[in-house]
Structure 1
Amino acid sequence: MSDDLTGEWPLARRSALPAAFTWLREAFPRSRWDEASVPGSATHWLQMHAGFRQASRHMEKVAEAYRSGSIDLRDFHGRLLPTLSGFLQHLDGHHRIETTHYFPQFRAIEPRIAPGIDLLDRDHYAVHAQLERLAECGNALHRTVRAGNINAVDDAARMADALDTAASPLLRHLDDEEDIVIPLMALRG
C-alpha cells in the first residue's frame, strides 16, 4: 500500500472510502451480502449495524417531533432516553470488541487491509467523542426534567443538536466499516 493511504481521511469530512480501501468490496459487492454463503459472523455484524441505524433513526424522529411541537418535553425525555442509553452502551461495547478482538484478527488474516482497519480504529475515537457528547446531553436533560427545572428546554435543544451532529459521522463509519469488514469475512472466512 502506498503512503497516501496513511493520511487522515477524517470521518467528519469523508463521503466514502477511497478505492484503495475497498478493493475487497469489489470482489464481494453489497449486492451479494444477503447470499447464503455469507458467514454467520458477517450476518451478525450487519444485524448489529442495522440496530444502530434503527436506533439513530428513532432518536432523530423523536427529536424532530419535539422540535415541531408534536410531543412535549416530558414525551421527548421519555421516548428518547431509553433508546439513547441502550444505543450508547451497545455501540461502545461493539467498538471495544472490534478494536481489541476482531481488528487484530483481520489484520492477521489479510495484512493488506491494515490501513483500512487503522482508519476504522481512528474512526472509533471520533465516534466515541460524539457518544460522550450524547451522554453528557442526555444526562443533563434527564437531571433538569426530573428536577422540573426551566432549563430543561435548553437541555432538550442541546440534546437534539447533539443527535444531529452525531448521526452523519456514525452512519458514515458504519457504511465504511461494512465495506472493509463484510467482504473480508465473506471471502476469507
Structure 2
Amino acid sequence: MCILSKLRHAPTFYRMIQTHIQTRQGLPEDMQLLLRDYPRETWPDHPDFTASIQNWMGAHQMFRQLTAITQTDTEKLIDGGIEQYRYTRRLSHFGNLLVRNLHGHHGWEDHSFFPELNRADPRFEHGLDMLEGDHVVLDDVLDRFKRQGNRIVQLEYLDPNAVLEEAKHLHGLTEEIGQFLTRHLSDEEDLAVPILLHHKLRG
C-alpha cells in the first residue's frame, strides 16, 4: 500500500497497526471496557475467579516457560555452556511440547472458547477476531521453529559439526516466539478474564 493510500484510509490503517500482533503496544483501548472494571490485580480475590480460569492461565505460563527453556538452552549452546548432544535431546523434548501444546490450545480457543465468549458478550467480537489473527501469525513462526528444530535434531546424527550454526538461526525464532507470546497471552488474558468474571462464566 502506498503512502497516499495509507493516508486516504488512515483510520483503517491505524486500526490495523493497533491490532496486529507485530505492531500493537497492548490491548486496544476500546477492548478494555471490562478490564477497567475488573483490573488484573483484583482477579485473584474475585469470587468468580474459578479453578478453570486459573488452569487456562496456568497453560499460558507453561508456554512462557517452555519458550524460555528453548531460548536459554540455545544461548547456552552458542556460548559453550551445554553439551551438544544434551542440547538436541532437550530441544526435541521441550520444543515438541511447546509446538504440540500451543497448537492444541489455540485450536480449542478458536473453535470453543472464543465462540463462548462472543455469545456471552458480542461487544468484544473484534477483539476475539484479533486474537484469532494472532494465532495465524504464531502458527507460521511455530512451523518455522518446528522445521528448524527438526533439522538440528537430525544433524546431530548426520552432520554434528553443522548443529551450532543452525542453532543460531533457531535462536532468532525462539526470540520471535517469546515476543509474540508476551504480547498475545497478556492481551488475551486482559480481554477474556474480565468477560468471564463479568458474566460469571466457568463457575
Tell me, yes or no, if the aligned pair for 2:64 and 2:178 is still in contact at 8 Å. Answer: no
CA RMSD of aligned residues (A): 1.8
Per-residue Cα deviation, 1:142-167 (whole angstroms, up to 9, x for no partner):
11112244322222222222111221
SS in 1 for 2:123: helix
1:21 is displaced (CA, Å) by 1.1
Q: Percent identity, aligned pairs only? A: 25
1:26 is displaced (CA, Å) by 1.0
Give the equivalent residue in structure 2 for 1:77. Answer: 88
Out of 2, 15, 39, the residue aligned to residue 7 of structure 1 is 15
Give the equivalent residue in structure 1 for 2:155. Answer: 144
Of residues 46-55 and 152-161 in structure 1, the stretch that sits farther from structure 2 once superposed is: 152-161
Which consecutive residues of structure 1, in runs of 5 or more, have no partner in the other structure?
none
1:42 is displaced (CA, Å) by 1.2
SS in 2 for 1:33: helix
Task: Quote the Cα distance in structure 1 between the aligned partners of 2:170 and 2:22.
Answer: 19
Q: Is 1:89–2:97 an aligned residue pair?
A: no
Give the equivalent residue in structure 2 for 1:168. Answer: 179
Q: How many residue pairs align between the two structures?
A: 187
Per-residue Cα deviation, 1:103-154 (whole angstroms, up to 9, x for no partner):
1111110000101001001000011111101101111111111224432222
Which consecutive residues of structure 2, in runs of 5 or more, have no partner in the other structure?
1-10
Q: 1:26-65 to 2 correspondence within 5 Å?
A: 26-35=36-45, 37=47, 38-65=49-76
Tell me, yes or no, if the aligned pair for 2:26 and 2:187 is still in contact at 8 Å. Answer: yes
TM-score by length of 1: 0.92
TM-score by length of 2: 0.86
1:64 is displaced (CA, Å) by 1.9
Off by >6 Å, runs of 4+ in structure 1: none
